[in-house]
Each structure stands twice: as C-alpha cells, then as structure tokens.
Amino acid sequence: MPNRLHFGPDDLLRCRFAVSPLWETQEAVRTLKRPDRHGYHPQWLRRIRGASAGLELGLLWLLMPQRGYTPDFLGPPPIGPAATFDEEIAAVRAADPEAAREELARALACTPGATESPRGRALLADPVRAVRDLADAVEAAWHTLVEPDWPRLRALLDADVAFHSRRLAEVGLGALIAELDPRFTWESKTLTVARSADHVRHLAGEGLVLLPSVFAWPDVVGGHEPPWQPTLAYPARGLAGLWAEPSDRTSEALVRLLGRGRATVLASLTDPATTSALAHRLGLAPSSVSAHLGALRDAGLLISRRYRHQVLYERTPLGIALASGGGI
C-alpha cells in the first residue's frame, strides 16, 4: 500500500534538505532491535556492544513498533540544516505533555498489550514525567551510540545533501525524487512512496523535509502528522563505505578508475586540507589541485567546509572507501 504526498504550488517552494543528529539517534536505537538493519554496521555494532548494555532502551523500544506509529514529539522535524543535538533535544523536552500523551497512546496501541503493560500505563498516567524520562533516554543513547562517530556520520550526510542539492539544480524536483530512492515516484505533483502503510496527505503549503539517514537503511521513514511538518527519511548515499578505514597509499585500481592526478589527491586527503596545502604537499600547481578537488567533490567523494578565510576539503565515507580499496 502506498504513501502519497500531494504537492501544491507553495509546497514546491518549501522543500528542503536537513541533517538531524536526533533522528540518527532514534534510528540507531531502532537498529539495535532490528537485525535486518545490521548489514552495513558490523563495525559500529562491535564498538558499541559493551557500552549499549548500560543503556535503558526498553521505554524507547516500546514506542518503536516495526510497523506503526512512533510519537512525533520524540523526533520533531529538523530545526534547520545544521541543528545541533542540544538544540533538538531541547525541543523534545519542551513538548506539550497533553499532546505528547495523545501521541504516546497512539504509539502504544500499535503493539498488542503495550497500553496495559506497567510501562505503558505509567507513560499515560504521568505525561510530564514521560516526556522527561524519554528525553533522558534519547540523550543517553546519543552520547553512547552516535556522538562518538558523529563527525564521520555527519560527513556522509553532508555529502548526500551536497550531491542531491546539485542534482536538484540540474534536473529539478520531479527527477530528483526518483533518484533519492527506488521506492519514490513522482507524477502529477504527487510523491508516492511504496511502503506498507497506506497514507495520503495534502501538504497544503507546508512543504517537505528530505532527510538522508545512516541508520534508517533499508527503510524509508515517513514522519509526522499535522501540525508537524512532513518529513521523509531515506538511506544516504555511500553507506557501504561508511566504516572503511583510509589507506596511506594510492592503489593502481584507484588510478585506473579516476586517473593519476585525482587518485593521488583523494588518497592524500587523510586529514582535511586546503587547496594550497595539498598543492604544496604533492608538488602540483594549485590550479591543477583545484580542478581535481572540484571533480572529486562533484562525484560525492569529497565535501568542502569554510573555516574562517579557508576552504577545507575532506573525504566522504564513499571517498574513504574508494581510497582504502573498500569498494562502493
């Protein structure tokens, strides 16, 4: 059964990409309970195995049915493209208790017996405490499961947004939608998502948040009933290379794929660097290095960040995977 989102003229002007550490935390918690999501994350699972044993995740898992509703206030639409976790968790803590209680009741109803369980009754009996306890659980999960790897995860998500923003400029929203995920189709200003839930929503000028996600794979996750802004999370590009470790040499296979100059630049970016620093390190003309960096960034292998008066380039996880011989 499909999920259909109907766009009006104003909605086309209010679509945006975002990155959310809060959403990644929610999906990381869900991934621990979902073996079908483990395929891309064995290194992460090994790393957090001991630390996660000290987390109390049962309350969150109770509200995360595999098929069904999860309370919107636990993962509100991202505030902006660069919101911090502290900003996002503050919004969770500020949730209206009565509205939160309605969402909790709806989520609990998706799991047989959950509403009448001791934890379910406690959540509904004291929504003020429920909001506080759930926010505390999410924050503990962030610090343990996601924060240590956030720079790596953020690089992948930023690279996805940069790549698809360029594609939006090149091909327009309708063509881009189909590129985000094979389950997305666009026809007559309607975005259809092939998934189990049968849902129709007219966006009515609210637009749509498009959210690349590391831990949502292999799912696409549609979020938020009114009054929340609609949000659609999809698996980010380059997941296969997310946990690959970089290599300190340029492989001949990479040279054959990219050419000697671009392969050398990609392999040399073990740490973020400027064009001039790379040119000095490699003994190449800055103009040549700049051209290679631009091509690698356009291919989604690098991202660039402005730091004061400098522009720093660094490899995305996809770039790391290629440089280390890990494949795509």
CA angle 38, 107, 115 (to 5 degrees): 115
The residue-averaged pLDDT of 224-244 equals: 83
What is the structure's pLDDT at 250?
A: 65
Using the predicted structure, report yes or no on whether residue 328 has a pLDDT greater than 80.
no
CATH of domain 244-324: 1.10.10.10
What is the structure's pLDDT at 186?
A: 93
What is the structure's pLDDT at 249?
A: 59
Could you report the per-residue pLDDT of 167-185, keeping only the tens digit for each?
898 899 989 998 999 999 9
Residue limits of CATH 1.10.10.10 in the chain = 244-324
Q: 110-114, 157-161, 224-228: lowest mean pLDDT where?
A: 224-228
Using the predicted structure, report yes or no on whether residue 138 has a pLDDT greater than 80.
yes
